[in-house]
Structure 1
Amino acid sequence: MICMRIENIRKKMEKKGIDALLLVSDSNRNYMSGFTGNESFSVITLDRAIFITDSRYTQQAREEVKEYEISEYKGSFSDYLSKLAKELNINKLGFEDDIISYSQYLEYEEKLSCELVPIKGMVQELRIIKDNDEIKNIKKAASIADKAFKHMLTFIKASMSEKEVELELEFTMKKLGASGLSFTSIVASGVRSSLPHGTATDKIIQNGEFLTMDFGCVYNEYCSDMTRTLVIGEPNDKMKDMYEVVLAAQKKALKTIKPGLTGKEVDKVARDYIQSKGYGEYFGHGLGHGVGRVVHEMPRISPTGNEILKPGMVITDEPGVYIPNFGGLRIEDLILVTEEGCEILSKSPKELICIK
């Protein structure tokens, strides 16, 4: 698997006209090497692959990284990299221009005698199609999130704070086997539920309010992502109408997802429906995004999403309606694009649930 990834990236390197590639981001470096730690580097040339770390991770690297030469550096990494570039006769070094800071770039530019070539998206283009092992890990992460949500339905009640809900949710996912969180959980109730990314506060959850929970976990380096919105107590007619519209839009998009469509075509199905029901101005974000080693990656399922959907992509379908000073909701599933259409990885119920 790692050998194939190295072979594929080398084809991209040759096409780009670079003779070496420097990877510093955890997601790209670990995808290309099998490492599970951080604060390390890799340099891939057309005939060598070198994994570079310090004494904290040398033993771990030797155990996990099988297709690379393992090299331990001391002192300044840029000094080490400069020396390595000369030894390997590197003329054009690709770097992650969307990851490396401007100050780091200036340091490399000063110390390296080779040309630095930006390669934004090169590894991400490989990561966009998941193999069987990746899909298995994502499904497990989604299953953990589903089990945590099921528990939360027995835990949540009026008079709790949003932070209490957040802590229980995150504790439960880790107790069920998650190694961490995909992102800071979103727990927003009442008027705060109109904030698409409203993180938990000390606000007390009250009857007659929406409670939106957007959360995910990490399992074996892979993320899940789902959103469910509950009503505490009884919803009013406006809340019922909003929920019905968002749920219908989410389901319409699900029925549309299949290989060959672009992200913007799928987005349009949900967006046009929400617009037709009078809530268009309250749906401002894209319908979804890719999920994998990080929770937001290619492809984009949005009005600007030009990537064509292919089997093996994992994406989200998450329309929402957010009305300031009233409240909002979002319903999100994690989706695997298949040869025939799609498979829904989030198994939790989506029909309106009221917590009495």
Structure 2
Amino acid sequence: MTRLSDVRIRMQAENLDAVIITNLKNIYYLSGFWGTAGTILVTAKAQYLLTDSRYSIAAREVAVDFDIVETREALTEIAKLLKKEALTQVGFEDGVTYAEFQAMQTQLAGLTLRATSNFIEVFRQIKNPSEIATIKKACAISDQAFNDLLKFVEPGKTEIEIANFLDFKMRDLGASGISFDTIVASGKRSALPHGRATHKPIEFGDTVTVDFGCYYDHYASDMTRTFFVGSASPQMRAIYQIVQKAQQAVTDVSSAGLTYGDYDRAARDIIEAAGYGEAFSHGIGHGLGLDVHELPYFPKVSEDRLLENMVITNEPGIYVENIGGVRIEDDLLITKQGVEVLTKAPKALIIL
């Protein structure tokens, strides 16, 4: 009930009588229910999970703190519940589609509807021990898949073959699926930060960047490694060493209380000093949990601070057009004293 208590405290702070939750991952976070159809209504007095007959038995088994309402007309039932409690100030998640919002306006006519941003996501930033243990398992699966990949890659294998190897290997190791489309970018294409896997074959002398992750019991991992096939040019070796140094600097400086801006600058200052500032074209990382990309994010000038038990990514990179790129990404657990690095795969320069 702690999570519901947090919701009600925020409702009170924002002068809301009720809040409607439609994001399926937020529904899972609050209730333990996982399905393709569901809506939660939280009021000061009660909490309801509305779903259809496909899921009502499962919902009763897991969402034991909720009143389960079996329906295919969630808004119609919500209107009745709100009327019963004489509630008028109703929050909803701003991720709904325009069509869903129009339906709300029609079905909940006469009520004050107020969009909320990250209403549940702010709570999801801090992981409990069970969530941390699950994310560690997801990371261990990704680590093993990468170690196995190093035995698979050779000249002639295509980027798509590498991506498929990782995807199937993670499932074989217990993952329920991939957390995003696996990125494989080789040769000059490694300068593409999010280069999708193609039919390009790996060639002798290629730089290869792989960015991938999996879901395990609903929680995600996310890691990136760059390695070389056959040989690495002096320039790419130097770039790799700069990125490796920058990535380690972030790990070394991180702990609860560090500002988001300082988290970003730990890597960016090193890369800029090496003359590659413009080639580091993205943020330093993001939160990780039920979504592979979730709060927090790290604006360069933010004074917000890291909190204990956040799980975040550390992923600096350098990308030089027509030459190649390097990115190294770990998942980190923030602690009072520093960090625990959850990604264990090797980061030393690898030439296969």
- Normalised to the residue count of structure 2, the TM-score between the two structures is 0.97
Query: 5 Å matches for 1:8-157?
Result: 8-74=6-72, 76-97=73-94, 99-112=95-108, 113-157=110-154
Which amino acid is 1:82 matched to?
A: A
Q: Which moved more, 1:238-247 or 1:110-119?
A: 110-119
Cα pair 2:39 2:74 within 8 Å, conserved:
no
Structure 2 partner of 1:275? 272
C-alpha distance in 2, partners of 1:320/1:232?
19
C-alpha distance in 1, partners of 2:300/2:350?
30
C-alpha distance in 1, partners of 2:99/2:321?
40
Q: Which moved more, 1:130-139 or 1:298-307?
A: 298-307
Q: Which moved more, 1:55-64 or 1:227-236?
A: 55-64
For residues 199-253 of structure 1, the C-alpha deviation after alignment (integer angstroms, 9 at most, x for no partner) is: 1111111111111111111111111111001111100101101100000000011
**Structure 1 291/346 Cα, relative in aligned 2: closer, same or farther at 3 Å?**
same
Instruction: Tell me the number of residue pairs that the alignment of Structure 1 and Structure 2 aligns.
Output: 351
Q: Which moved more, 1:191-200 or 1:103-112?
A: 103-112
CA RMSD of aligned residues (A): 1.1
Which amino acid is 1:349 matched to?
A: P
TM-fit CA distance, 1:291: 0.3
Structure 2 partner of 1:318? 315
TM-fit CA distance, 1:306: 3.9
TM-fit CA distance, 1:300: 1.2
Which amino acid is 1:48 matched to?
A: A
**Residue 6 in structure 1 maps to residue 7 in structure 2:** no
Cα pair 2:257 2:307 within 8 Å, conserved:
yes
Cα pair 1:300 1:307 within 8 Å, conserved:
no
SS at 1:164 equivalent: helix
Q: Quick one: which of 338, 345, 348 aligns to 2:345? A: 348
Cα pair 1:299 1:305 within 8 Å, conserved:
no
Structure 2 partner of 1:241? 238
Cα pair 1:300 1:306 within 8 Å, conserved:
no
Cα pair 2:51 2:74 within 8 Å, conserved:
no
Cα pair 1:288 1:302 within 8 Å, conserved:
no
Cα pair 1:258 1:309 within 8 Å, conserved:
yes
SS at 1:278 equivalent: coil
Cα pair 2:127 2:310 within 8 Å, conserved:
yes
C-alpha distance in 2, partners of 1:295/1:10?
27
C-alpha distance in 1, partners of 2:103/2:149?
49
Question: Identity over the aligned pairs, expressed in percent?
Answer: 41
Which amino acid is 1:155 matched to?
A: F
**Structure 1 81/59 Cα, relative in aligned 2: closer, same or farther at 3 Å?**
same
C-alpha distance in 1, partners of 2:188/2:298?
27
C-alpha distance in 2, partners of 1:171/1:77?
38
SS at 1:354 equivalent: coil
C-alpha distance in 2, partners of 1:313/1:336?
6
For residues 43-102 of structure 1, the C-alpha deviation after alignment (integer angstroms, 9 at most, x for no partner) is: 01111010000111111111111110111113x4333333333233221111111x1012
SS at 1:198 equivalent: coil
Structure 2 partner of 1:167? 164
Cα pair 2:50 2:74 within 8 Å, conserved:
no
For residues 246-277 of structure 1, the C-alpha deviation after alignment (integer angstroms, 9 at most, x for no partner) is: 00000011101011111111101100110000
Structure 2 partner of 1:331? 328
C-alpha distance in 1, partners of 2:304/2:37?
31
C-alpha distance in 2, partners of 1:221/1:256?
30
- In structure 2, the gaps of 5 or more residues are none
C-alpha distance in 2, partners of 1:316/1:244?
19
TM-fit CA distance, 1:305: 4.2
C-alpha distance in 1, partners of 2:255/2:36?
35
Which amino acid is 1:135 matched to?
A: I
C-alpha distance in 2, partners of 1:227/1:110?
46
**Residue 227 in structure 1 maps to residue 224 in structure 2:** yes
TM-fit CA distance, 1:111: 2.2
Which amino acid is 1:278 matched to?
A: G
C-alpha distance in 1, partners of 2:143/2:112?
48
SS at 1:266 equivalent: helix
C-alpha distance in 2, partners of 1:149/1:230?
11
- Normalised to the residue count of structure 1, the TM-score between the two structures is 0.96
Which amino acid is 1:250 matched to?
A: Q
C-alpha distance in 2, partners of 1:305/1:299?
11
